[in-house]
Structure 1
Amino acid sequence: MANPDASRRLLPLLSTPHKGGRSALTCQFRCGNACSHDVGNTTANAYFGDVVKEALSRRGVLRAGALGAVVVGAGVAGAVPALADEPKAAARGGHGGGGDLRFTPVPPNTDDKLSIPDGYRSSVVVRWGDPVLSDAPAFDFDNQTADAQNKQFGYNCDFVTLFPMGRDRGLLWVNHEYTDESLMFRGYTGGADATEEQIQIALAAHGGSVVEVERERGTGEWKLVTHGRRRYNRRITAQTPMKFTGPAAGSDLLKTDADRQGLKPVGMLNNCAGGTTPWGTVLTAEENIDQYFVNGDKVPEAQRPYITRYTITTGTPEDSRRFDRVEERFDLAKHPQEANRFGWIVEIDPFDPDSTPVKRTALGRFKHEAANTTLSRDGHLVVYMGDDAQFEYIYKFVSKERYVRGFDRHNRDLLDEGTLYVAKFTGDSPKGQIDGSGKLPSDRMFDGSGEWIPLVSGDKSYVKGMTAEEVLVYTRVAADKVGATKMDRPEDMERNPVTGGVYVALTNNTNRTKAQVDEANPRTGNKHGHVLEIVERKNDAAAKTFAWSIPLVCGDPKDPATYFAGFDKTKVSPISCPDNVTFDRDGNLWISTDGNQLGSHDGLFVMPVRGKDRGHLRQFLTVPTGAETCGPLVAEDQLSVFVAVQHPGEVDGASPENPASRWPDGDQPRPAVAVVWHEKGKKIGS
């Protein structure tokens, strides 16, 4: 709903200089312009370069199956073969041949469309505003209402997963990460001038959607089910009642005037990546929650260091959404604990539309990326997670009890008790060989060893001076105290279903200086990012030590500061800013990008990680103007690949009156999930 009385003016941010390859619009609405703010992690934790001598002196020391049979994806929980017991050997790859990939790569381009290889077709599965509930009205851009949006597919779409119900039918889960009101409403000039209806629409457009989909027989095309009861369809928003479970549930740190027991949070925000459980539920990750609150500087003095560490907004900036105008809880001067109720992993049952979403406190609180699960060798559930900000950390959770196939009542408590760890990495090359240029050290690999440092287990804290509840609510602070390793924006993490290696997308870090480079973050001003591989000791997901290596240093292959696992760089596609990762059943790594700084649109890439083609990265598709590539999801039968096309048209200067993209329908840009398949029914990539 437009505000016709508001005079058109630029939001304050949009005329200021920007770091990185994203537009000012994306930086503002997605993460509150985080990269232009002071770095949240100001601790003196050692960088790798500071501990190399120590490492050399002790050098001799040392989704995959998360999806389970119920989920369309790459593999079954625990179905990872045992590799070499010596983790460094596994980290170097070479265990068998990679998948058979024979498509012609899509060249870099700036076309306002979904560009796919010859011989493939694509279609939109579901887009912003499409009816989700049976009584939802048709989408009308110029007559939006909050009531309608509560029943329609939300804005921006990130994590995607598919739960099959037979061969050709299933439930599609999609995260709705954030809203861009300047593209959603005509004449939008900021939260202070927005109508209350516009703010309510934005609240309703966050969260996630469950939609029933069906496949065209004999093809890889999936479509939204628009007939029949659609009993599982559901919208979850920033206003959906939820509950806390786990060790921090009921903590004083989570109590508010509206919830004096600290057990019933309301809504979820900025849900980015995610994962699934072996028992068929979604784990969705709350990420950039700091930008939704105002008056962070007015909380009680004892709480201010924690507010600062989580980069919570101070004051009431003109360019904020001003959710506090319709719900007072977003004003921290009045409700200082409310921010603590966001930044969690949320579990949702897609098969029970009446179930209450659960915020699992045992998994810690930070800017969550990913929640991909697997099983350890003896059956414990393991969850891998990243904290998506510059100089933040990599985490994993190991359940106390073991997973029991088919024992649903037992399994659903596994995420409430266990040990939360944070990663510490050590390089194995002399400091002088890691000079910030990206040049390989003398052993021709960026690699080393690492350990998982325990933070908390149930009610037991391993962090001096912090209780277990404090560790879980202020997990970043706990990780600071134990000396975890600062990384270059850890985003998605997923375990290879064939090799067992855990792959981490490190998107970028333009603030890393020469004094801060190390072997796992080997470039200064790292604007293109890299991918890191972790191989845990004896290939056991519950192990406390691991080897690591970097198979992919992103950028233009002509740049000597890039590395493609040793493959011939004249034959690979350029790639910048890896964001989400997934695997096909052959163990090939699929990488989506966000913020390409090579002059082309973002895209989806695939790379074998073993055999003679290890490092042969090829571009499979590009997304339209202004969009980032999210998802992705390769179907278990490999006949389809899903991508979430997030924020098409999000380009500086764009508006509904002057759209930068007209994808997918030729008028206003609408975030959407698309599917790609081979026109002859062949396996994706073949």
Structure 2
Amino acid sequence: MSITRRHFLLLMGGSASAVALNSLGGCNVKLPSQKPEFTFQPIKGPIPLLTDGFKPEQQKEQYSTYEVIDDLVLPEGYQYQIIAAWGDKVGDSRFGYNNDYLSLISTGENEGFLSVNFEYISAIPWMQTYEQVIGKPLPFAQVKTALQNNSSGKNEINAFALADNDPIKAQITEICQEALLDQGLGVISVRKTADGRWERTNSPADRRISGISGLNDGKYLKATGPAVAVFRKQQGQGYIDQLGDRIIGTFGNCAGGTTPWGTVLSAEENFQTQVPEAVYPDGTSSDPSKLPFALGDEELYGQGNVFGLAGNKYGWIVEIDPANPNDYGTKHTWLGRYRHEAVGVRVEAGKPLAFYSGCDRRGGHIYKFVSRDKVQDPKNKANSQLLTQGTLYAAKFNSDGTGRWIPLTADTPVDPDLPSNIAGNLILLPKSPQAKTTQKAEGDYLAISKDQEITKYKQKFKNLGDLYSGNTEEKQGAILIDAHYAANAVGATCTGRPEDTEVAANGDLYISFSSGSPDQEGGPDVRVFKGPKGETPYEYGWVMRLTEDSNDPAAVTFRWQMLATGGEPAAGAMGFANPDNLLLDKNGNIWMVTDMSTGKMNQSVKNRTDSNGKAAAISGLFGNNAIWLIPTQGDDAGKAFLFATGPVECEITGPCFTVDEKSMFISIQHPGEANGIRKNQVQESREFLLMTTTGEEFLQTRQVPIGSNWPTKSADAPPKPAVVVVTKTSSS
């Protein structure tokens, strides 16, 4: 359906002012409603909006030309300051690459520990600029040459199997150590000075927890929950790293969450690019050879291969205490292993704790962990122990706006969705323990595309436990390790790509889904995920509100509603594309960043239909990734206002307010991801067939920089990810 402002107000409870929202997913903020600090005049974006101040008859002239700026563009009266950038010193290490989720744990007025996720390295700019930024070379050319001479004819190799004295293995090890060092998370201490600027204070707690923590320094990560029984196996169906419950590093750290007791949760997302994702029915890993090391001009993956990292130890939620310099992280396995994007935290005295998270893949799921025991004091650090016992559930969304939580336990009936209900008509399901044991088919899942195959599957397997092996604890561990495929098997709803999960002060859960397009791994349920006019599949995303029945965090049923839909205003949408991180301020307003794919941003759109007469992809219209504000009260409730646009080819992530909401920390991730350094200020002129807000077509000429020089913006400077803080200027 088309989400109009009137619909938005009705969905928010008749009057938006009746809803109180609060973010537990960004900074540690919980204040009563008051006058907002961040009021602004919206900036002009690349396409006409209902909130841009131009009448439809003015839009053709105002938007006939547009220049993409390689900078963080803010409203008049606002400024930004670089806090830390890739390569800066952090403790005994360095600030990593592709900073993402941010959380400020206050230690006093206008000071605290800023926790920073480092998600992945962008191969093109990282390799292009590594020596210039870090100050030493890496043997990229030598390894590329060796791989080109590989007998397989591919630019990949199972480096784990090479002899330890092989010089190529040593060179691959050097590259992968540096790549994984730039991933994980970090803690930096910051404070605001008397003149209103922010500075780093370099406290003893400043440190890095990287993708190789524990490899050479003994600073292993720990684990809790049923999967530990699998990690401790001495033998099994698959690969075992012989480290027991010790874990080397963390990587793929995307978004996260913050607890009331002062710890930070970091979500391991796309771990499958560095280690094998698929596991055996007993929860043990596929062999490292299943994801070889690969290096090319535009790719660098399989970074865990050379170290023999066990894939089943990645894809978890990591908890750290930023204030404790000796805490290098704990992976809580009751929260499940999948491509975690974020963590929504609901903590209320006298009730079980509830954590919400989404699996960021096409056809992913929404999950909820409910603790066995109840919270006594929400601020007690002992609450971390509540994460060691409980139940993981996956969401089933019904098309009538109701839903239920399905437990991922051995006795849950097998009941997969029908492929005909899923965009792309594909669902991947676990094979039986016997099939995998006999065939040695590591990573082999059943790809089902016909409804009648589901009937046969249900006849063969009755309960989830029939698909996994081991004693009671080991079998539960295996289910959690294989959570995405287990959720497919029990009928959890396949969704658009789930991004953020934010819990409001009244207990409601807000979920962003960035895209509804399918791929070779699956797609969303077309009965739930539709465009403004009922289109399926639909690319441009949604924001959903989920309300637990009886407002109980342990409820097994819920209600859901779509609050906002991405896409063009002329199509009945709100003007943004691919929503990602959400931040709920003290007045209940929704701040949102977007995550358009790098390869789609600012790509020319000359036709609105393809050669088959179907609607063409128009993602390029929406320009650079951006920050938006959606007020939830007053005359502007339900409208989307453009606050900022990011540098070229970047993603803006991790928005996070200070307690007084006078400063907003944000991450600028992967500027120049597709083209690297912008050389000689080069740009291209591209054409876009736009629509006014009333649906009239017109042509725009857009100037698009090729590559980036942010943050220094000097000619031919290397692009670097960085964390910035946004404040009002002293004169505003």
Query: 8 Å contact 1:656–1:668 — kept in the other structure?
Result: no
Amino acid at match of 2:245: L
Which deviates more from structure 2 when the two are superposed, residues 387-396 or residues 313-322?
313-322
Task: Give the secondary structure class of the aligned counterpart of 2:491.
Answer: coil
Aligned with 1:341 (options 307, 313, 317): 313
Q: Look up the match of 1:675.
A: 725
Aligned with 1:510 (options 503, 509, 517): 517
The answer as to 2:24 corresponding to 1:75 is no
How is 1:459-470 mapped onto 2 (pairs within 5 angstroms)? 463-465=464-466, 466=468, 467-470=475-478
Q: Look up the match of 2:447.
A: none
TM-score (norm: length of structure 1): 0.71
Which deviates more from structure 2 when the two are superposed, residues 614-623 or residues 485-494?
614-623
* 1:500 to 1:394, Cα distance in 2 relative to 1, 3 A: same
Q: Look up the match of 1:232.
A: 205
Amino acid at match of 2:319: E
Aligned with 2:107 (options 148, 156, 165): 165
How is 1:533-682 mapped onto 2 (pairs within 5 angstroms)? 533-560=545-572, 562=573, 564=574, 574-595=575-596, 597=619, 598-610=621-633, 612-652=635-675, 660-665=707-712, 666=714, 667-680=717-730
Amino acid at match of 1:664: P
Q: What is the number of residues matched between the two proteins?
A: 537
Q: Look up the match of 2:443.
A: none
Q: Look up the match of 1:524.
A: 536
The answer as to 2:82 corresponding to 1:119 is no
Residues 370-428 of structure 1: CA distance to partner in whole angstroms, max 9, x if unpaired? 11211247332111100000011000111111223278463221111111111001122
- Using the TM superposition, give the Cα deviation of residue 252 of structure 1 relative to its aligned residue in structure 2, in angstroms: 5.2
* 1:372 to 1:312, Cα distance in 2 relative to 1, 3 A: farther
Task: Give the secondary structure class of the aligned counterpart of 1:677.
Answer: strand
- Using the TM superposition, give the Cα deviation of residue 131 of structure 1 relative to its aligned residue in structure 2, in angstroms: 1.0
The answer as to 2:407 corresponding to 1:454 is yes
Distance in structure 2 (CA, Å) of the matches to 1:190 and 1:615:
56
Amino acid at match of 1:550: M
- Using the TM superposition, give the Cα deviation of residue 460 of structure 1 relative to its aligned residue in structure 2, in angstroms: 14
The answer as to 2:346 corresponding to 1:374 is yes
* 1:473 to 1:636, Cα distance in 2 relative to 1, 3 A: same
Q: Look up the match of 1:495.
A: 503
- Using the TM superposition, give the Cα deviation of residue 584 of structure 1 relative to its aligned residue in structure 2, in angstroms: 0.7
Query: 8 Å contact 1:98–1:610 — kept in the other structure?
Result: no
Distance in structure 2 (CA, Å) of the matches to 1:64 and 1:401:
26
The answer as to 2:114 corresponding to 1:176 is no
- Using the TM superposition, give the Cα deviation of residue 559 of structure 1 relative to its aligned residue in structure 2, in angstroms: 1.9
* 1:408 to 1:376, Cα distance in 2 relative to 1, 3 A: closer
Aligned with 2:40 (options 103, 116, 133): 103
- Using the TM superposition, give the Cα deviation of residue 634 of structure 1 relative to its aligned residue in structure 2, in angstroms: 2.0
Q: Look up the match of 1:365.
A: 337
- Using the TM superposition, give the Cα deviation of residue 551 of structure 1 relative to its aligned residue in structure 2, in angstroms: 1.0
Distance in structure 2 (CA, Å) of the matches to 1:383 and 1:544:
14
Task: Give the secondary structure class of the aligned counterpart of 2:654.
Answer: strand
Q: Look up the match of 1:486.
A: 494
The answer as to 2:258 corresponding to 1:276 is yes
Which deviates more from structure 2 when the two are superposed, residues 264-273 or residues 350-359?
350-359
Distance in structure 2 (CA, Å) of the matches to 1:546 and 1:250:
33
Aligned with 1:223 (options 165, 185, 199): 199
- Using the TM superposition, give the Cα deviation of residue 197 of structure 1 relative to its aligned residue in structure 2, in angstroms: 3.1
- Using the TM superposition, give the Cα deviation of residue 477 of structure 1 relative to its aligned residue in structure 2, in angstroms: 2.0
* 1:250 to 1:531, Cα distance in 2 relative to 1, 3 A: same
Residues 182-220 of structure 1: CA distance to partner in whole angstroms, max 9, x if unpaired? 21234957975576433321111111110011113363x
How is 1:18-37 mapped onto 2 (pairs within 5 angstroms)? none
- Using the TM superposition, give the Cα deviation of residue 501 of structure 1 relative to its aligned residue in structure 2, in angstroms: 2.0
Distance in structure 1 (CA, Å) of the matches to 2:319 and 2:74:
34
Amino acid at match of 1:663: W
Query: 8 Å contact 2:289–2:305 — kept in the other structure?
Result: no
Amino acid at match of 1:155: Y
Amino acid at match of 1:234: R
Task: Give the secondary structure class of the aligned counterpart of 1:452.
Answer: strand
Distance in structure 1 (CA, Å) of the matches to 2:524 and 2:338:
26
Please provide the CA RMSD for this pair.
3.6
Amino acid at match of 1:250: A
Q: Percent identity?
A: 32
Residues 34-86 of structure 1: CA distance to partner in whole angstroms, max 9, x if unpaired? xxxxxxxxxxxxxxxxxxxxxxxxxxxxx977749xx844428xx9xxxxxxx
Query: 8 Å contact 1:152–1:235 — kept in the other structure?
Result: yes
In structure 1, the gaps of 5 or more residues are 1-62, 80-95, 137-150, 331-337, 429-447, 565-573
- Using the TM superposition, give the Cα deviation of residue 168 of structure 1 relative to its aligned residue in structure 2, in angstroms: 2.3
Residues 143-165 of structure 1: CA distance to partner in whole angstroms, max 9, x if unpaired? xxxxxxxx110011110010111
Distance in structure 2 (CA, Å) of the matches to 1:156 and 1:559:
34
Distance in structure 2 (CA, Å) of the matches to 1:543 and 1:450:
11
Residues 212-251 of structure 1: CA distance to partner in whole angstroms, max 9, x if unpaired? 11113363x422225xxx2110011111111111122131
Distance in structure 2 (CA, Å) of the matches to 1:201 and 1:644:
21
* 1:377 to 1:557, Cα distance in 2 relative to 1, 3 A: farther
Query: 8 Å contact 1:114–1:624 — kept in the other structure?
Result: yes
Task: Give the secondary structure class of the aligned counterpart of 2:363.
Answer: strand
Task: Give the secondary structure class of the aligned counterpart of 1:601.
Answer: coil
- Using the TM superposition, give the Cα deviation of residue 322 of structure 1 relative to its aligned residue in structure 2, in angstroms: 5.4
* 1:312 to 1:98, Cα distance in 2 relative to 1, 3 A: farther
Query: 8 Å contact 1:654–1:660 — kept in the other structure?
Result: yes
* 1:525 to 1:515, Cα distance in 2 relative to 1, 3 A: closer
Q: Look up the match of 1:213.
A: 190
The answer as to 2:383 corresponding to 1:411 is yes
Distance in structure 2 (CA, Å) of the matches to 1:162 and 1:312:
40
The answer as to 2:239 corresponding to 1:249 is no
Distance in structure 1 (CA, Å) of the matches to 2:379 and 2:643:
40
Distance in structure 2 (CA, Å) of the matches to 1:515 and 1:284:
26
Distance in structure 1 (CA, Å) of the matches to 2:234 and 2:35:
51
Amino acid at match of 2:78: Y
Amino acid at match of 2:404: E
Amino acid at match of 1:584: D
Q: Look up the match of 2:699.
A: none
Query: 8 Å contact 1:270–1:288 — kept in the other structure?
Result: yes
Distance in structure 1 (CA, Å) of the matches to 2:337 and 2:306:
23
Q: Look up the match of 2:608.
A: none
Distance in structure 1 (CA, Å) of the matches to 2:525 and 2:24:
37
Distance in structure 2 (CA, Å) of the matches to 1:400 and 1:204:
36
* 1:616 to 1:307, Cα distance in 2 relative to 1, 3 A: farther
Which deviates more from structure 2 when the two are superposed, residues 359-368 or residues 102-111?
102-111
Query: 8 Å contact 1:242–1:266 — kept in the other structure?
Result: yes
* 1:184 to 1:314, Cα distance in 2 relative to 1, 3 A: closer
Distance in structure 2 (CA, Å) of the matches to 1:101 and 1:677:
9
Residues 610-664 of structure 1: CA distance to partner in whole angstroms, max 9, x if unpaired? 5553311111111100100100112221101111000011124758999711111
In structure 2, the gaps of 5 or more residues are 1-19, 47-67, 130-139, 146-170, 214-219, 415-462, 469-474, 602-618, 683-705
* 1:662 to 1:416, Cα distance in 2 relative to 1, 3 A: same
Distance in structure 1 (CA, Å) of the matches to 2:672 and 2:228:
41
TM-score (norm: length of structure 2): 0.67
Residues 86-109 of structure 1: CA distance to partner in whole angstroms, max 9, x if unpaired? xxxxxxxxxx99969742112225
Distance in structure 2 (CA, Å) of the matches to 1:305 and 1:524:
37
* 1:381 to 1:184, Cα distance in 2 relative to 1, 3 A: same
Q: Look up the match of 2:167.
A: none
* 1:399 to 1:603, Cα distance in 2 relative to 1, 3 A: same
Work out which of the two has the higher radius of gyration on C-alpha atoms and give 1 or 2.
2
Task: Give the secondary structure class of the aligned counterpart of 2:266.
Answer: strand
